[in-house]
């Protein structure tokens, strides 16, 4: 029976959103730390080429992971809506359908990741000096992808119920473990990039086990009972309806990012390492955005299930404004201290120059990207997943790819690929502003 402890359909709106967002923020911070630990430790203990290998394959990792995580977001929205409507049996069916999806996804992801890695690295025009380490890192990473898939799905179930506190506890412990293993494998056991990948997948697997343990023992309607794990047709349809657009969105965006990475690769390992470091820093900057996005998606879905438009309206306004202001402040700090921050990854001046150039151009536009991400989360919570998919595919993918295939063919300049991001963030922001106003006039929220 679902308790009201974490329900977001009652109580002060701002307090509910902040109470949910803060643990998510801290948890994402630790997750980003242990993801970045690979790059920091590899860059310092192994060298520039290894750093380029680890950072340059990020777009490929996000491509495959993002596709399956899109379905995870769809499942979270369906579960949150059922919880908000207090339909306990429907909630249970949604949860067990999600688990069945996880079993299938983990097998598919492992096979695709292991067998397609060399082909895709070749397609990305990965330099010869980086290729062997990039291939090794990816293959080890994807061999352990079951932990990654189930951790995200299981955390999504907890968060759909409004509980963001327990995932934080598990993630902090496993993040610390990851950093210790990362350093130990490379420093004391003489391992290369495969040590960094192994440490990451062990941390993810342990996280999944801890979250699963809680869901097996809870008395709430999100409780997992192994004998009930199977596909429920109507729930699967609902999850696909919301999750497939998000999955395709993530997949195509990361496919476009792989093309961009291929363009960056043509400038050599220093550019790959410097821009890769800048991208890692960007991950920290968007932690508040991730936190507010998850909070709003759950908040909107639960209150939509409960028919509380007044709460939806207040929560959406508060979440959008808060996310933009916070990420603008953090982006300003990134602008001021970018040489030092990039230097943490690698001390070569050319690497620092590339990373600083990207960071300083993008920093003051991060608030626009943040607005787009939070708006996308609101759309998913409202049950309108196709809208953000179309916006992102056109503004973030089509524009970037067409630009590289046209202008990029005769103007081989790193500034082109750097400026693509602020320009496309601006385009999506404009579209979302007008569409949110349209939904408000239609009294959708």
Tell me the average pLDDT across 146-171. 84
pLDDT(164) > 70: yes
pLDDT(59) > 70: no
Residue 35 pLDDT level (bands cut at 50, 70, 90): low
| Centroid of chain to Cα 109 | 16
Distance CA 303, CA 383 (A): 12
Note whether 258 and 120 are within 8 A (CB): yes
In a domain, 370, yes or no: yes
Give the tokens for residue 444. Answer: 């959708």
- Least trusted range by pLDDT, from 68-72, 89-93, 216-220: 68-72
Give the tokens for residue 201. Answer: 């997948």
Secondary structure (3-state) at 444: coil
Note whether 133 and 192 are within 8 A (CB): yes
In a domain, 291, yes or no: yes
pLDDT(3) > 60: no
In a domain, 233, yes or no: yes
CA terminus-to-terminus distance, the chain:
29
- Nearest C-alpha neighbor of 83 from the set 167, 157, 168: 157
Note whether 50 and 133 are within 8 A (CB): yes
Count of CB atoms situated within 10 Å of the CB of 443: 8
Distance CA 430, CA 391 (A): 10
Output the pLDDT for position 5: 61
pLDDT(23) > 80: yes
Percent of the chain with pLDDT over 90: 13
In a domain, 5, yes or no: no
Residue 253 pLDDT level (bands cut at 50, 70, 90): confident
| pLDDT tens per residue, range 322-341 | 888 988 998 899 999 999 98
Distance CA 161, CA 299 (A): 10
In a domain, 386, yes or no: yes
| pLDDT tens per residue, range 342-363 | 888 778 888 899 999 999 999 9
Distance CA 94, CA 90 (A): 6
Give the tokens for residue 382. Answer: 């409202």
Distance CA 443, CA 440 (A): 5
| C-alpha angle 131-361-273 in degrees, rounded to nearest 5 | 20
Tell me the average pLDDT across 397-415. 88
Residue 198: give the domain boundaries. Answer: 13-441
Percent of the chain with pLDDT over 70: 95
Mean confidence (pLDDT) of the chain: 84
Distance CA 23, CA 165 (A): 5
Output the pLDDT for position 2: 43
Burial code (b: 16+ CB inside 10 Å, e: under 16) for 357-367 equals bbbbbbbebbb
Structurally, the chain folds into a number of domains equal to 1
The most confident of the ranges 216-220, 305-309, 419-423 is 419-423
Of residues 6 and 103, the one with the higher pLDDT is 103
Full DSSP string of 207-225 = HHHHHHHHHHH--STT---
| pLDDT tens per residue, range 258-302 | 778 888 888 888 888 888 888 888 878 888 888 888 889 889 988
| pLDDT tens per residue, range 101-148 | 888 888 888 888 788 888 878 877 787 888 888 888 888 888 888 888
Residue 171 pLDDT level (bands cut at 50, 70, 90): confident
In a domain, 8, yes or no: no
Burial of 195 by CB count in 10 Å (0-12 exposed, 13-18 middle, 19+ buried)?
buried
| pLDDT tens per residue, range 172-221 | 888 888 888 888 888 888 788 888 888 888 888 888 898 899 999 887 88
Strand spans (E) along 24-145: none
Output the pLDDT for position 37: 67
Output the pLDDT for position 1: 45
Distance CA 306, CA 240 (A): 22
In a domain, 202, yes or no: yes
In a domain, 380, yes or no: yes
């Amino acid at each position: 029976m679902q308790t009201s402890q974490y329900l977001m359909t009652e109580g002060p709106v701002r307090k509910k959103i902040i109470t949910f967002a803060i643990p998510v923020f801290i948890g994402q911070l630790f997750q980003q730390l242990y993801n970045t630990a690979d790059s920091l430790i590899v860059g310092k203990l192994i060298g520039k080429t290894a750093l380029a290998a680890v950072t340059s394959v990020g777009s490929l990792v996000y491509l495959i992971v993002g596709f399956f995580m899109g379905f995870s977001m769809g499942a979270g929205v369906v579960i949150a809506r059922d919880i908000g409507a207090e339909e306990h049996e429907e909630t249970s069916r949604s949860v067990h359908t999600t688990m069945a999806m996880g079993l299938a996804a983990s097998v598919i992801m492992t096979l695709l990741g292991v067998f397609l890695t060399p082909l895709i690295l070749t397609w990305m025009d990965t330099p010869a000096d980086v290729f062997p380490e990039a291939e090794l890192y990816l293959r080890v990473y994807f061999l352990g992808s079951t932990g990654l898939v189930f951790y995200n799905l299981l955390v999504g179930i907890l968060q759909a119920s409004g509980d963001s506190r327990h995932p934080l506890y598990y993630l902090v412990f496993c993040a610390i473990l990851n950093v210790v293993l990362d350093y130990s494998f490379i420093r004391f056991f003489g391992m290369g990039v495969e040590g960094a990948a192994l440490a990451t997948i062990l941390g993810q697997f342990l996280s999944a086990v801890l979250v699963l343990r809680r869901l097996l023992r809870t008395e709430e309607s999100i409780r997992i009972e192994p004998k009930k794990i199977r596909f429920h047709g109507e729930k699967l349809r609902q999850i696909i309806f919301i999750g497939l657009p998000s999955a395709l969105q993530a997949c195509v965006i990361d496919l476009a990012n792989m093309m961009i990475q291929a363009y960056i690769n043509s400038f050599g390992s220093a550019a790959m390492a410097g821009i890769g470091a800048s991208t890692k820093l960007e991950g920290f900057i968007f932690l508040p955005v991730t936190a507010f996005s998850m909070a709003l998606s759950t908040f909107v879905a639960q209150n939509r299930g409960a028919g509380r438009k007044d709460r939806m309206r207040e929560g959406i306004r508060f979440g959008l404004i808060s996310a933009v202001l916070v990420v603008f402040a953090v982006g300003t700090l990134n602008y001021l201290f970018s040489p030092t921050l990039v230097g943490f990854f690698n001390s070569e001046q050319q690497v620092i120059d590339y990373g600083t150039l990207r960071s300083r151009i993008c920093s003051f536009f991060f608030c626009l990207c943040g607005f787009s991400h939070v708006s996308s989360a609101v759309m998913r919570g409202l049950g309108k997943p196709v809208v953000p998919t179309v916006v992102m595919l056109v503004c973030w993918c089509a524009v970037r790819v067409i630009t590289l295939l046209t202008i990029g063919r005769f103007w081989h300049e790193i500034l082109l690929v750097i400026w693509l991001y602020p320009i496309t963030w601006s385009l999506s922001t404009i579209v979302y502003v007008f569409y949110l106003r349209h939904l408000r006039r239609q009294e959708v929220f």
